[in-house]
Amino acid sequence: MNDLHWADTGSGRPVVLLHGGFLHHEMWADQIPALAGRYRVIAPDARGHGRSANATGPFRPADDLAALLRHLGTGPAVLAGVSMGASIAVDTALEHPDLVSGLVITGAGTSEPEFTDPWTIRGRAAYFGTMAVGDLDGSVENFTLMATGPHRALDDLDPGVVARLRRMTRETMSKHTGSKDTGGEADPTVPVRDTWARVPKIDVPVLAVHGALDAADHIEMADRVARSVPDGRSVTIDGAAHYPNMERPDVYNEILMGFLRRL
């Protein structure tokens, strides 16, 4: 596991915190100390993000996570993920169910996303457009704008949250050489197949935590997972969008701790 970086602190039942795309484990800075007094908290940087090495060939993020958990000998863990991290959590429950005891997901469903909200589609087009021409500053800014949700501007967010998002995004994006359209790297991620058809087989508790101001398709994908499983429910955090753990950390932490206590 020398090519992956992770934080590992505390003791007790393992809780794994999975960050969003183009960010890294420091997006959980408000959760790690709050949880570590009662739980073993593991927060990895996904391959190609933060301090983890870039991919050298095709890989599946769920397999990386499974290999890490087996390396650490944690046994079944609760996986809490936001955005890309949520999709990795769900995929891991599908592919490696013996390693998962519960899921807390925000802003995504599986690794087969279904984007329908016009705001999301425009935002993704702007982001990929700047990435295609190798505009790092433009890519960072367009990606950060996705944190606002469709109802706000960046000026409406806490400046500290915006600064953290920009810094993490730049740190990860600068590790890469741009899109394949500019002669850079192709996406090495191998998809997990037939995920939505398999979601109803997930037999661990699932909690979808929505930011009320997030895009409708982000909310719907997480909610769909919670509706599809035998033990699933959803809760909404007001005043937050795609990253409620960063915008409303006290509320998110209370919800997460409540979920952990009932397992």
Residues 34 and 62 in one domain: yes
**Two tokens, residue 101:** 């005891």
Q: CA of 29: how far to CAs of 84, 161, 163, 245, 253, in Å?
A: 17, 11, 14, 9, 11
pLDDT of residue 79: 98
Residues 165 and 199 in one domain: no
* Nearest partner of 110 among 224, 18, 216, 187, judged by Cα: 224
Confidence of residue 242 (pLDDT cuts 50, 70, 90): very high
Residues 65 and 136 in one domain: no
For the chain, the domain total comes to 2
Range of the domain at 74: 5-114+186-261
- Partners of 206 in the β-ladder: 103, 232
Confidence of residue 111 (pLDDT cuts 50, 70, 90): very high
Residues 123 and 239 in one domain: no
Residues 177 and 58 in one domain: no
pLDDT of residue 134: 82
Q: pLDDT tens digits, residue range 46-72? A: 999 999 999 999 999 999 999 999 999
Residues 71 and 168 in one domain: no
Contact between 7 and 42 (Cβ < 8 Å): yes
pLDDT of residue 21: 96
**Two tokens, residue 239:** 């005043």
Residues 10 and 138 in one domain: no
Q: In the predicted model, what is the mean pLDDT of the chain?
A: 94
pLDDT of residue 185: 62
Confidence of residue 178 (pLDDT cuts 50, 70, 90): low
Residues 48 and 89 in one domain: yes
Q: pLDDT tens digits, residue range 223-232? A: 999 999 999 9
DSSP the chain: -TT-EEEEE--SSEEEEEPPTT--GGGGTTTHHHHHTTSEEEEEEPTTSTTSPPPSS-B-HHHHHHHHHHHHT--SEEEEEETHHHHHHHHHHHH-GGGEEEEEEES--SSS-----HHHHHHHHHHHHHHHTT-HHHHHHHHHHTTS-TT--GGGS-HHHHHHHHHHHHHHHTTS---GGGT-PPP-BPPPPSHHHHGGG--S-EEEEEETTS-HHHHHHHHHHHHHSSSEEEEEETT--S-HHHHSHHHHHHHHHHHHHT-
pLDDT of residue 138: 93
Contact between 97 and 90 (Cβ < 8 Å): no
Residues 208 and 84 in one domain: yes
Average pLDDT over residues 198-208: 98
- Final residue belonging to a domain, choices 150, 182, 214: 182
Could you give the CA distance from residue 51 to residue 59 in angstroms, rounded to a whole number? Answer: 17
Confidence of residue 180 (pLDDT cuts 50, 70, 90): very low
- Final residue belonging to a domain, choices 141, 167, 182: 182
pTM: 0.96
The more confident residue out of 89 and 130 is 89
Residues 21 and 110 in one domain: yes
Residues 71 and 150 in one domain: no
* Nearest partner of 20 among 232, 237, 257, 247, judged by Cα: 247
Residues 244 and 194 in one domain: yes
Q: pLDDT tens digits, residue range 132-166? A: 788 999 999 999 999 999 999 999 999 999 999 99
Could you give the CA distance from residue 16 to residue 115 in angstroms, rounded to a whole number? Answer: 26
Q: For the purposes of burial, counting CB atoms within 10 Å of the CB of 185, is it exposed (0-12), middle (13-18) or buried (19 or more)?
A: middle
- Final residue belonging to a domain, choices 128, 155, 182: 182
